[in-house]
Chains A and B, each alone.
Chain A
Amino acid sequence: MEHIRTPKVEQVRLVDRFSNKSTNGTLYLTATHLIFVEGSSNNSASAGQEIWILHHHIASVEKQSLTTTGCPLVIQCRNFRVVHFVVQRERDCHDVYSSLLRLLRPVYYEELYAFSYNPKQNDQQREEGWQLIDLGAEFERMGVPNDQWQHTDVNRDYKVCETYPRDLYVPITASKPIIVGSSKFRSKGRFPVLTYFYQEKKAAVCRCSQPLSGFSARCLEDESMLQAISKANHNSHFVYVMDTRPKLNALANRAAGKGYENEDNYSNIRFQFVGIENIHVMRASLQKLLEVIGARSLTMSDYLVGLESSGWLRHIKAIVDAAVFLTKAVTVEGASVLVHCSDGWDRTAQVCALGSLLMDPYYRTIKGLMVLIEKDWISFGHKFADRCDQLDGDPKEVSPIFTQFLECVWQLTEQFPHAFEYSEWFLLQIHEHVHSCQYGNFLGNNQRQREQLQLGERTHSLWDFLMSEKQNYLNPFYKPSYSEAHPVLEPSTLPYHFKFWRNMYHQFDRAMHPRQSILKTILTLKENSRKAESELQALETRLQKLGVTPIATSDPPAPPPTRDQRTNPLPPRPDSLILGAPINHKEVERREEEDEQDEVGVEATERTDTERTVEGSSGTESRKQSYGELEGTCNGELAKVEPAVVSLELGVARMTC
């Protein structure tokens, strides 16, 4: 690449963000990655760690003024990694700096990694990967089309609305003139369309953009469009219209000829403001949050005050509140809801997607979340290219809207650990690739653009890759029976349920993670019990072959004598709210697993890293190393003797999580 002046710089120091520890190594600059390899020259003989940073992940590079030890280079990434290098010679530092500046500002889509990334798949496999998610099938799953809702091809050539997909679903009574008329009255032509259908109550969740009502304008077609939505639902004689903006913002928009629905003009609507702030507020809020948590020697007060003044958790709560409102309206009242904000691609996407997730257990499975993101975010035109700053664009358009959605989902997984098939790691992985530009899914701003870019032929699909290593993302606590019993989640939105997501914002700060991971332990236990079971089966079949009738398996095998307490029947669980939460059946199972673990302890160490390591993307390999503490590679750890002394790292963030 012509932009790389110095491909290799030796004697570079990597300084830890929170302590003064540093490691020496070599910095390599390639066309796609910045790679730091820890030098093995010093006494630590083992091959050092490697850090791979994709150029697209780099949000900013800062060259600080020269110090006695060298020239500091601070790189901030979109996946919240912050690396601090010290390069010995200033000239080298400057070369790396200027190369990076050019490299991380691609001008054309063709420069993005997705177009050069090749995971050794043939064309057929790639095509199959792209066909993994089929939105037509998804609407069928919801029971659409039906006697009230139909498919429309009005947007077949993106003529009515450029930013919508080709296939849209509208009420049966909404004729083509009504649709076209309504689209002319809506900002960017984004007229009301169906996004989720709640079969049980036949209630619909629709989305659109703000009406161009100004101070007094009205549009008969738009009014009959809403009328049609209302009529399609026999359960309720009105439609909720949720404007997800704060009222003040909506009022201000009126001066620009936009605004909100006037309840007098529309019969049978109930209008409601929700008050989620706009993209600029969100961007500033995250910026503030990152500043606070990036501060060294943060005191508890500074942390709490900073967390509060950033307002980040307040915004997260506002989104969850809105989704809860939507869910209640649909599932309890059985009313249809129309959601919009300004252009209907940021807040609307957040609220519709999160609301659907609360209503439908399917979206809490791995495949389901992919479908949900594909439907509400990708196909309905969330501007990923602008919001994630994929090309060198307007910095005012960048905003962590999708990150917020993932965080909302995470907050819910914290409240309902049994209800989700995927673990936090899945959310983090999606977040990683939204910014990595390694796969084609999130490139561009809307479907039309994606078709023009021929992403299906020229890039690969992330969903296929994630599906292929599904076992890495499973949540060990997931219980499908829970979702059957509680199809609709009712999260509490009391303030203390909203926690700081350490594993997202401190994902790469090794010192911030707990030394012992519960998730990892549980995964190991599950794995072990599965092994023990299969071994049991194998032994039983062998016994049968030998002609010995196996001893009745209903007799529990004598537990190892060392654990005498365990052999006693379990004492009744004290009646406490804290212990009330875990279901006793599962609890008991787990105890048994613990017992088994002792016997198969040797086997556990045989597990190889590769079973859980991510293949195919070099970037992920290095992420594993830092995240590995939490997830994945469980081998060996069990056999290792825990150090007798636990040293304390007093990261402030850790104490509140």
Chain B
Amino acid sequence: MEFSDHIKTANVEDVVLRQPLHPPSRGTLCITGHHLLFSEREEGSSQQVLLLLRNIDAIEKRMSGSSGTITIKCKDLRVLQLDIPGMEQCLNISRSIETLSCLDNVSEMYPFFYRPTDLSLQDQWGLSTPEKHYTQMKELHERWRLSSVNKSYSVCPSYPPAVIVPNCIDDETLKKVAKFRQGGRFPVLCYYHRKNGMVIMRSSQPLTGANRKRCKEDELLLQAVIEDSDKGFIIDTRSSQQVQQARMTGGGFESKSFYNCWKRLHRQMERGKALQESLIKLVEACSDESHNVDRWLSKLENSKWLSHVQTALSTAGLLAECVERDGHSALVHGYEGTDCSLLICTLAQLIMDPFCRTLEGFLALLEREWVQ
């Protein structure tokens, strides 16, 4: 299917663009397969707005007489308003935007069409992989190994092919552990603190369920992590109440009696929908144009966004304290181990490892923790 099928009207003249805090401008609007291009047609100025269609979050259209207005809300929080003359053109444009901004097929997306002039596809891909990470960290080799148990993504579909695990745990054990953890996300190493040799592991929740199942291999793995030191911390990003509830749906927590060296700490963090709503409220507060300090403060408070940021930072601070100050290893998980756990682990690494605060180190961190 061609993109041009979706574009009925590619060019509209005499469109008025309005943005908050900018004077309105008049010009031409173009639609291509991946972009929305607006170029101003007033003398003496050559303002252009190039908008990636994927960036569009939502559009609203409003008709009045022979012209229409499209309000575009972008994912980068920009809000554009386009006044388009001609009803049909307006409908066509909005339809094109709607279809093109949420293409289903991954291979139709912009990265597959993007050809920057100064990069070639032969260049090396990526900055960091567990393999690389492992070879760079010479200190790791004594007690940790690189396991390729997930080579064909069969053990855990959301993990990279190679992961770092304790030396003494073989691949068979890992497979069993993976069955005991939600989504197969068994505990793997995510950070090694050079100063005292302590580590941060992350995983998803154990599937203990209502009848308190246990898994010998999982216990063994965690025991291998702390080895001879006496204690480890498990930071659970849910409250203890939520943890009990999770058992009803097959999830659960590491019980004290089976993991007697591990101490669980609960820090409730919002995720998913609540967080998204919070962000929406924040954006709303920011675009409120009434000039009223009280209203702004109460909306900011109401969004709870800063509270969430504070919780995330303080939990990460707690994790860093466990590792750095108390000198114990830690395991981080919540439900699936794909949201808050990542956030906490990344932040803690930023706090503890100066390399992560360099440009390159930060990119590598993002790649290692979030992408893979």
Query: Which A positions have Cβ atoms within 8 angstroms of B?
Result: 299-301, 304-305, 307-308, 311, 313-314, 317, 321, 493-496, 498, 642, 644-648, 650, 652, 655-656
Contact = CB atoms under 8 A, between A and B. Distances in A.
Given A650-B317, A655-B309, A304 B291 contact: no
Nearest to A313: B293
Nearest to A302: B301
Contacts of A647: 317, 320-321, 351
Interface of B: 195, 286, 289, 291-298, 300-301, 304, 306-307, 309-310, 313-314, 316-317, 320-321, 324, 351-354
B324 A313 contact: no
Contact of B351 (A646, A652, A655): A646
A495 B310 contact: no
Given A644-B195, A648-B317, A300 B293 contact: no
A304 B300 contact: yes
Contact of B352 (A304, A496, A644): A644
Contacts of A305: 297-298, 301
- Interchain residue pairs A-B with the least CB separation, the first 9: A495-B296, A304-B301, A308-B297, A648-B317, A300-B307, A314-B293, A495-B293, A313-B293, A300-B306
20 contacts: A299-B307, A300-B301, A304-B297, A304-B306, A305-B297, A305-B301, A308-B294, A308-B301, A321-B291, A494-B291, A644-B352, A645-B352, A646-B351, A647-B317, A647-B320, A647-B321, A648-B314, A648-B317, A650-B310, A652-B310
Contacts of B297: 304-305, 307-308, 313, 495
B300 A645 contact: no
A647 B301 CA distance: 26
Nearest to B311: A300
Given A305-B298, A308-B301, A313-B293, A300 B352 contact: no
Contacts of B309: 655
A177 to B, nearest CB: 45
Contact of B298 (A300, A308, A313, A656): A308
Contacts of A656: 306
A644 B313 contact: no
B351 A645 contact: yes
Given A307-B297, A308-B298, A313-B297, A644 B353 contact: yes
Nearest to B321: A647
B150 to A, nearest CB: 32
Which residue of B293, B294, B307, B351 has the most chain A CB atoms within 10 A of its CB atom?
B293
A496 B314 CA distance: 25
Contacts, number: 73
Contacts of A307: 297
Contacts of B289: 494
Which residue of A299, A305, A648, A655 has the most chain B CB atoms within 10 A of its CB atom?
A648
A147 to B, nearest CB: 40
Q: Chain B binding site: helix, strand, loop or mixed by DSSP?
A: helix
Contacts of B320: 645, 647-648
Contacts of B317: 647-648, 650
B306 A495 contact: no
Nearest to B50: A575
A552 B67 CA distance: 65
Nearest to A641: B354
Contacts of B301: 300-301, 304-305, 308
A307 to B, nearest CB: 6
A151 B116 CA distance: 71
Q: Chain A binding site: helix, strand, loop or mixed by DSSP?
A: helix
A136 to B, nearest CB: 40
Contacts of B353: 644
A644 to B, nearest CB: 5
B339 to A, nearest CB: 20
A426 to B, nearest CB: 26
Contacts of A308: 293-294, 297-298, 301
Contacts of B304: 300-301
Given A648-B317, A650-B314, A496 B307 contact: no
Contacts of B306: 300, 304, 655-656
A560 B108 CA distance: 46
Given A301-B301, A648-B317, A648-B351, A317 B293 contact: yes
A655 B354 contact: no
Contacts of A495: 291-293, 295-297
A648 B353 CA distance: 14
Contacts of B314: 648, 650
A591 B323 CA distance: 36
Given A301-B301, A305-B298, A644-B195, A496 B286 contact: yes
A573 to B, nearest CB: 16
Given A299-B307, A304-B306, A496-B286, A648 B313 contact: yes
B310 A645 contact: no
Contact of A300 (B195, B294, B310): B310
A4 to B, nearest CB: 45
A656 B352 CA distance: 23
Contacts of A300: 301, 304, 306-307, 310
Contacts of A494: 289, 291
A655 B301 CA distance: 13
A308 B301 CA distance: 9
A494 B293 CA distance: 8
Nearest to B304: A301
B310 A496 contact: no
A304 B281 CA distance: 15
A647 B310 CA distance: 14
Contacts of A642: 354
Given A314-B294, A496-B286, A656-B306, 20 more contacts: A304-B298, A305-B298, A305-B301, A308-B293, A308-B298, A308-B301, A317-B291, A494-B291, A495-B296, A495-B297, A496-B296, A645-B352, A646-B351, A647-B320, A647-B321, A647-B351, A648-B314, A648-B316, A648-B317, A650-B310
A46 to B, nearest CB: 23
B109 to A, nearest CB: 22
Nearest to B316: A648
Contact of A644 (B286, B291, B295, B354): B354
A305 B297 CA distance: 7
B51 to A, nearest CB: 13
Contacts of A299: 307
A656 B306 CA distance: 8
Given A305-B298, A496-B286, A655 B293 contact: no
Contacts of B351: 645-648
Contacts of B286: 496
Contacts of B313: 648, 650
Which residue of B300, B314, B352, B353 has the most chain A CB atoms within 10 A of its CB atom?
B300
Which residue of B286, B316, B354 has the most chain A CB atoms within 10 A of its CB atom?
B354
A582 B228 CA distance: 54
B310 A655 contact: yes
Contacts of B307: 299-301
Which residue of A299, A305, A498, A644 has the most chain B CB atoms within 10 A of its CB atom?
A644
Contacts of B298: 304-305, 308
Nearest to B295: A495
Contacts of B296: 495-496
B344 to A, nearest CB: 13
A311 B294 CA distance: 7
A299 B320 CA distance: 21
Given A304-B300, A304-B306, A642-B354, A493 B291 contact: yes
A655 B309 CA distance: 9
Nearest to A656: B306
Contacts of B294: 308, 311, 314
Nearest to A498: B293
B221 to A, nearest CB: 27
A655 B351 CA distance: 16
Contacts of B291: 317, 321, 493-495
A644 B298 CA distance: 38
Nearest to B307: A300
Contacts of A304: 297-298, 300-301, 306
